[in-house]
Structure 1
Amino acid sequence: MISNNPYLQEVNMQLGNISNALAIEANGRNIAVTFPNLEWAFNITLRNVSEISMPSLAAVNGSLGFYSNFFESVNAPNLTTVGQSLSFVSNQKLNNASFPQLTSVGGGLQIANNTNIEKIDGFPKLQTVGGALDFYGNFSDVALPSLMDVRGAFNLQSSKDLTNTCNHFQPLSGQNNVIKGTYSCSGGESTPGGSGTLPSGTNSGSGTSGSTTSSSASTAVTITGATGLLGVVAAIFGML
């Protein structure tokens, strides 16, 4: 973990892989994170980051999560698989998420409460979601042209009109269809909510079908209170 370094403005690591869980959070508000050569990672969590670049990332065995960041765009042009969950939550400036080669997410795919995202269309090759697909926010369109298998719940809720989007996905729902779990799609909501809530915002209490994914135990790198990048890099290299 790289955290609580208020003067840290840049993390630039020439790593090829990350075999432990890496979390970067609560550092300088304008921190830029760059992994130019990173191809494989076990687990990555980013919070309170202003810029992120990972052009070579091809696979994440565990989970990849973006929470409460400040960047407007996040791109992973070569990422093809995420073994567990992929999450984008409460990134208030985010208006674009582009993962053009991503084909499979082993766990859940969540895009939630990113108020500037108006259209979700950055996953053109996504075929399989092993857990729930859970999108809620202010978007008016969702395009997943290659989607073939969602094994958990499917939830789309937005403050905008989703008539066309819901009309597209509803015929794909059903136990032996593309969307195998509980299906929910609703636009014009005053308080869009996540999977397990009714469009009215009250908890549905209903179960969802689909596979259950397990989480592997992980050992995190912890670096707190550091003010220099050399200490960060040295500690990370020591763990690999």
Structure 2
Amino acid sequence: MARTPMGSLSSLLSLLALLIFTITNTLAQSEPEICDSSSITITTPRQLLELSNCTELIGDVIFNNIDSVELNLYNVTAIRGMFQIHLANRTQRFSAQNLTMVGNLFMIAGNADGSNMRDISMPKFNSTAGIDFTGMPKLRELEFPSRVNSTYPAIRITIMNTGLESIEGIGIDFTQVQQVYFGGNPNLKSIKLGLNTISTNLDLDGTGASPNVSFPELEYLNTANIHEVGSLDFKKLKSMGGALGVYDSATLETLSMPLLKKIGTRTLSVLAIANNSGLTNVLFPELEEITGGVTAEGNKDWRRLNGFPKLMRVTDDIDMKGTFTLIEFPMLYNLTGNFEVVSSAGLKYGCKDLLRMNTDTSKAFVCDPYGTNVFRAADLPPEEQSKQDNGESGLTGPKITGIAIGCLACVVVPLILIRFIVGRRRKARLRERNIYNHNFGPHELGSRSLPSSRAELPSHAMSETYEIAPAKIRQELMGDIPLHELDAMSEHKKNPDITETPVPDSPIERVSTGAGGRFDSDVSRLESDVSSEDDEYTDSIIHAYGDPEMDMKPKNMIP
């Protein structure tokens, strides 16, 4: 009897120790583990299993062709970076039961041959910077029970080459997104998104499905390219920064944007409506301005061209072809482009016809085939005109700078041209003087009478080239040699024998480099060659060098 209590106590202690161990182990396992890495790439099922210990992943996570039928993130609640899943052919399901947010773009992509992905289950997912689902032709449904939103403007929404029949189950509540693209979804019959702003581009290609498209909350759209849709709902759209194009929609009957006022607020754009065989009504009742042009063709059932009752300003051509029986642009007074509307019903309208249509005679009418794609100053909106009338918008800083630069150029350019012309003439005169002096050296000879041109010299004076020592002669003639040296030279040169000095062949050879260093000339030969018309020239030579017949030295020769 005494052993029973002891045995019971021992068993109780053992159970208590086991319970404490179990509770401790459970608490340790439930502690969240944050896995911090700039990038994690998973390529095998075993590596994927190791992520089950992580509840938060810091950085980008990439699943790259994991060869598994099912991909499962067991305990992960948040991925702070980008999450990319590149599917292998075997993969059919992806499950992330606890994942609530992806900090950057969330992307699931099949390979070029498509994938077998059929099911995506993410019941708690409610936040990402963008969704990019491509290349999953067997994916029929996509459901995010929690509405998906983003703290910051989202990057993009891309649904391409999938088997989805609807995207209403995604529940995307982005307010602003940069880009939206739908294409290659042959089963997609409905596209409805509650976006407020698309800042870059909306690209819808409903080839094969002709989906009904609805953006009931959209107020601003930059550019839109819409192909093959069944219907369009943009009931709150007020402004577009770029172009709007609606093409190839055989089942689209009405194109209506009841609140849209401007197209092309940011860039030169176009409103293009083409090849919509079932289109009967085009209604833009509030549209006032298009920074660009309008083009339309291939809309065989669109007959009443009267859906632009308030359109006033267009900065490029209006070129429309169709089966129109009624054409009205009652308020269009400023068209800096050409106006040409041609109907197979026999109607053809140009600028003169547009003038007759115009009902607002209070403004100057402009229809300019050679327009410059800008609004005229007189055709600004009323609020801008009132600013100019009140003097609030005069010359701006850039305009004043441009005017000042233009005035300065008008003064400086003529001065530069005058300086250039005068400089060229002066250089020409100096060049003539330098060439003349170089050929004949009058300052070296001390001559007072110069030939007017080389043509006045005898022919034999130009047949040979003679070397002159200008430095030495210049010293003797210009007084650069000291007086005591000149005295020594005079003593050495007393009683020279002129008859022994060789006579040069021409007047150009005026300096002999021999011992005497005297000036000699051949006046007798010069007299025989110079004609009677050159008497003045002959007198100047005799005056400079003396007459050999009178046995006299030249006047300028140093004794």
**Is the pair's TM-score, using the shorter chain for normalization, greater than 0.5?**
yes
Partner of 2:334: 149
Matched, 1:180 2:360: no
Q: Distance in 1 between matches of 2:348 and 2:210?
A: 39
Question: 1:46 corresponds to which letter in structure 2?
Answer: I
Report 1:6-155 matches (<5 A): 6-70=186-250, 71-83=252-264, 84-155=269-340
Q: Distance in 2 between matches of 1:125 and 1:149?
A: 12
Closer/same/farther in 2, CA of residues 38 and 152 from structure 1, 3 Å limit = same
Question: 1:75 corresponds to which letter in structure 2?
Answer: S
In structure 2, stretches of 5+ residues that fail to align are 1-180, 358-363, 375-559
Give the conservation status (yes or no) of the 8 Å contact 1:142–1:165. no
Q: Distance in 2 between matches of 1:152 and 1:15?
A: 35
Q: Distance in 2 between matches of 1:171 and 1:33?
A: 39
Give the conservation status (yes or no) of the 8 Å contact 1:46–1:66. yes
Shift of 1:60: 0.5
Matched, 1:211 2:373: yes
Give the conservation status (yes or no) of the 8 Å contact 1:112–1:137. yes
Q: Distance in 1 between matches of 2:248 and 2:368?
A: 30
Give the conservation status (yes or no) of the 8 Å contact 2:274–2:299. yes
Question: 2:373 corresponds to which letter in structure 1?
Answer: S
Shift of 1:137: 0.9
TM-score, normalised via structure 1 length: 0.71
Give the conservation status (yes or no) of the 8 Å contact 1:8–1:27. no
Give the conservation status (yes or no) of the 8 Å contact 1:104–1:126. yes
1:80-115: CA deviations, max 9, x gaps? 000021111111110100000000010111122211
Give the conservation status (yes or no) of the 8 Å contact 1:9–1:28. no
Question: 1:179 corresponds to which letter in structure 2?
Answer: C
Question: 2:263 corresponds to which letter in structure 1?
Answer: V
Report 1:153-164 matches (<5 A): 153-162=338-347
Instruction: Give SS of 1:108's match.
Output: strand
Of all paired residues, the percent bearing the same amino acid is: 28
Instruction: Give SS of 1:169's match.
Output: helix
Partner of 2:136: none
In structure 1, stretches of 5+ residues that fail to align are 182-207, 213-240
Closer/same/farther in 2, CA of residues 167 and 180 from structure 1, 3 Å limit = closer
Question: 2:300 corresponds to which letter in structure 1?
Answer: T
Q: Distance in 2 between matches of 1:85 and 1:166?
A: 19
Closer/same/farther in 2, CA of residues 160 and 146 from structure 1, 3 Å limit = same
Q: Distance in 2 between matches of 1:165 and 1:159?
A: 15
Closer/same/farther in 2, CA of residues 77 and 7 from structure 1, 3 Å limit = same
Shift of 1:178: 2.1
Q: Distance in 1 between matches of 2:185 and 2:209?
A: 10
Give the conservation status (yes or no) of the 8 Å contact 2:219–2:238. yes
Shift of 1:74: 0.9
Partner of 1:234: none
Shift of 1:163: 6.7
Question: 2:261 corresponds to which letter in structure 1?
Answer: T
Shift of 1:211: 1.6
Instruction: Give SS of 1:85's match.
Output: strand
Task: Count residues in correspondence.
Answer: 185
Closer/same/farther in 2, CA of residues 13 and 169 from structure 1, 3 Å limit = same
Shift of 1:162: 2.0
Question: 2:368 corresponds to which letter in structure 1?
Answer: K
Give the conservation status (yes or no) of the 8 Å contact 1:125–1:146. yes
Q: Which has more strand, going by share of residues?
A: 1
Structure with greater Cα Rg: 2
Give the conservation status (yes or no) of the 8 Å contact 2:341–2:349. no
Shift of 1:148: 1.2
Instruction: Give SS of 1:7's match.
Output: coil
Q: Distance in 2 between matches of 1:52 and 1:145?
A: 26
Q: Once superposed, what is the RMSD of the aligned Cα atoms? A: 2.4
Give the conservation status (yes or no) of the 8 Å contact 1:147–1:178. no
Greater relative contact order (CA < 8 Å, ≥ 6 in sequence):
1
Q: Which runs of 4+ in 1 moved over 3 A?
A: 163-168
TM-score, normalised via structure 2 length: 0.31
Instruction: Give SS of 1:49's match.
Output: coil
